[in-house]
Structure 1
Amino acid sequence: MKDARIFTCSKCDAQYPKWTGRCSECGAWGTIAESQIQKPFLKKKESVVSGAPAQVTRLQDASGAAVERLLATQFPAVKVFAGGLARGSLTLMTGEPGAGKSTLCLQLAHNFSSRFRVLYITSEESVGQVRERASRMGSFGESFLLAESFDLGTILATMRTERPDVVVIDSLQTVTASDIESDAGSIQQIRTVSAQLRETAKRENIAIILIGHVTKDGALAGPKSLEHLVDAVYYLETDTKRPYRLLRSYKNRFGESGKVLVLQLTAKGMIEVANAATIFIQNYESKPGSVITVTLLDDQIFFLEVQALVSKSAFGYAKRTSSGFSRSRLEMLLAIVKKHLHIDTDAYDVYVNIAGGFHVNEPAMDLAVVVALLSSIKETALPGNTVVFGEVGLSGELRIVRDTAMRLAESAKNKFKIVYLPPLEKKVSSALQLKSSNSLSELVAALAW
Structure 2
Amino acid sequence: MAKKSLSIFECQHCGFQSTKWMGKCSNCGAWESFIELSTSQIQALKETKVLLSNASAIPITSIEYEHISKFSSSEEELDIVLGGGIVPGGLYLVGGSPGVGKSTLLLKVGGGLAKTGKKILYVSGEESAGQIKLRAQRLKCIHENLFLLNEIDLNSIKSNLITKQYCICIIDSIQTIYSPQVTSTPGSISQVREITFELMRLAKEYNIAIFIIGHITKEGSIAGPRVLEHMVDTVLYFEGDPSRELRMLRGFKNRFGTTSEIGIFEMRDDGLVSAKNASKMFFSTKQSMPGSAITVVLEGSRALVLEIQALVSESSFGAPKRSATGFDTNRLSMLLALLEKKLEIPLNHYDVFINVTGGIKITETSADLAVIASILSSFRNRPLSNTTAFIGEVSLTGDIREIGNIDMRLKEMENYGFTKAIIPKKPNTHTKIKCFEVTEVTKLLDWM
TM-score normalised by the chain length of structure 2: 0.86
DSSP 3-state at the match of 2:92: strand
CA distance in 2, matches of 1:422, 1:17: 61
| Alpha-carbon RMSD | 3.2
Residue 109 of structure 1 aligns with which residue?
110
Match of 1:265 among 264, 267, 272: 267
Query: How far apart are 1:167 and its partner, in Å?
Result: 1.2
The change in CA–CA distance for 1:310 and 1:83 in structure 2 (over 3 A counts) is closer
Residues 4 and 399 from structure 1, CA distance in 2 versus in 1: closer, same or farther, beyond 3 angstroms?
A: farther
CA shift, 1:313, in A, is 3.1
- Provide the C-alpha distance between the structure 2 equivalents of 1:291 and 1:442, rounded to a whole number of angstroms: 17
Identity of matched residues, %: 35
Taking the aligned partners of 1:364 and 1:286, their CA distance within structure 2 comes to 22
Q: Distance in 2 between matches of 1:399 and 1:19?
A: 54
Q: Equivalent of 2:416, from 402, 414, 417?
A: 414
Match of 2:88 in 1: 87
Classify 1:131/1:173 alpha carbon distance in 2 versus 1 (closer, same or farther; 3 Å): same
Distance in 2 separating the partners of 1:78 and 1:327:
32
TM superposition shift of 1:216: 1.8
Q: Give the Cα separation in 1 of the matches to 2:53 and 2:245.
A: 57
- Following the alignment from structure 2 to structure 1, what is the Cα–Cα distance between the partners of residues 338 and 272? 44
Q: 2:237 matched to which residue of 1?
A: 235
Compared with structure 1, are the counterparts of its residues 429 and 55 closer, same or farther at alpha carbon in structure 2 (3 Å cutoff)?
A: same
CA contact under 8 A between 2:81 and 2:250: conserved in structure 1? no
Q: Answer yes or no: is 1:186 the counterpart of 2:188.
A: yes
Residue 107 of structure 1: how far off its partner (Å): 1.1
- 376-385 or 290-299: which moved more? 290-299
Deviation at 1:87? 2.2
C-alpha distance after superposition, 1:168-196 (max 9, x if no partner): 11111111112223222122211111001
Q: Show structure 1 runs of 5+ residues with no match.
A: 40-49
Aligned to 1:436: 437
Number of the residue aligned with 1:62: 63
Q: Which residue of 2 aligns with 1:149?
A: 151
Aligned to 1:175: 177
1:423 CA drift (Å): 3.4
- Residue among 232, 249, 254 paired with 2:256: 254
SS at match of 1:365: helix
Deviates more, 1:240-249 or 1:117-126: 240-249
2:394 is the counterpart of 1:395: no
Cα distance, 1:104 vs structure 2: 0.9
CA distance in structure 1 between the partners assigned to 2:317 and 2:73 by the alignment? 62
AA matched with 1:301:
A
Residue 198 of structure 1 deviates from its aligned partner by 0.8
- Which deviations, in whole Å up to 9, do the C-alpha atoms of 1:64-90 show, x marking residues without a partner? 774454556676776666744322221
- TM-score normalised per structure 1: 0.85
Structure 1 pair 246–154 and aligned structure 2 pair: CA distance change class (3 A): same
Is the counterpart of residue 205 in structure 1 residue 207 in structure 2?
Answer: yes
**C-alpha distance in structure 1 between counterparts of 2:221 and 2:410, whole Å:** 34
1-structure distance, mates of 2:333, 2:77:
42
Contact kept, 8 Å, 1:248 with 1:260, in 2: the verdict is yes
Taking the aligned partners of 1:304 and 1:21, their CA distance within structure 2 comes to 46
Aligned to 1:42: none
Secondary structure of the residue aligned to 2:138 is helix
State the distance in 2 between where 1:143 and 1:297 align: 35
Which one is further off, 2-11 or 125-134?
2-11
Partner of residue 340, structure 1:
342
Q: Distance in 1 between matches of 2:386 and 2:53?
A: 71
Instruction: Please state if 1:445 is matched with 2:414.
Output: no
Give the paired residue count: 434
Q: Note the C-alpha offset of 1:301.
A: 2.6
The residue aligned with 2:368 is: 366
Question: Does the aligned pair in 1 maintain the 2:246–2:264 contact within 8 Å?
Answer: yes
The answer to which of 193-202 and 105-114 deviates more is 105-114
Shift of 1:259: 2.2
Q: Which runs of 5+ in 2 are unaligned?
A: 44-51
Question: Distance between the aligned counterparts of 1:284 and 1:22, measured in 2?
Answer: 53
Residues 104-145 of structure 1: CA deviation (Å, up to 9, x unaligned): 111111122231222111111011111111122336333222
Answer with 381-390 or 250-259: which moved more. 250-259
1:165 to 156, 164, 167: 167
Shift in alpha-carbon separation, 1:151–1:141, aligned structure 2, 3 A: same
Query: In 1, Cα distance between the equivalents of 2:393 and 2:27?
Result: 31
Matched residue type, 1:180? V
Aligned partners of 1:438, 1:4: CA distance in 2, in Å?
69
The structural deviation recorded for 1:219 is 1.2
Query: Larger deviation: 364-373 or 16-25?
Result: 16-25
Deviation at 1:403, TM superposition (A): 3.2
Determine helix, strand or coil for the equivalent of 2:431: coil
Equivalence for 2:304: 302
1:361 deviation in Å? 3.7
Q: Distance in 2 between matches of 1:15 and 1:372?
A: 52
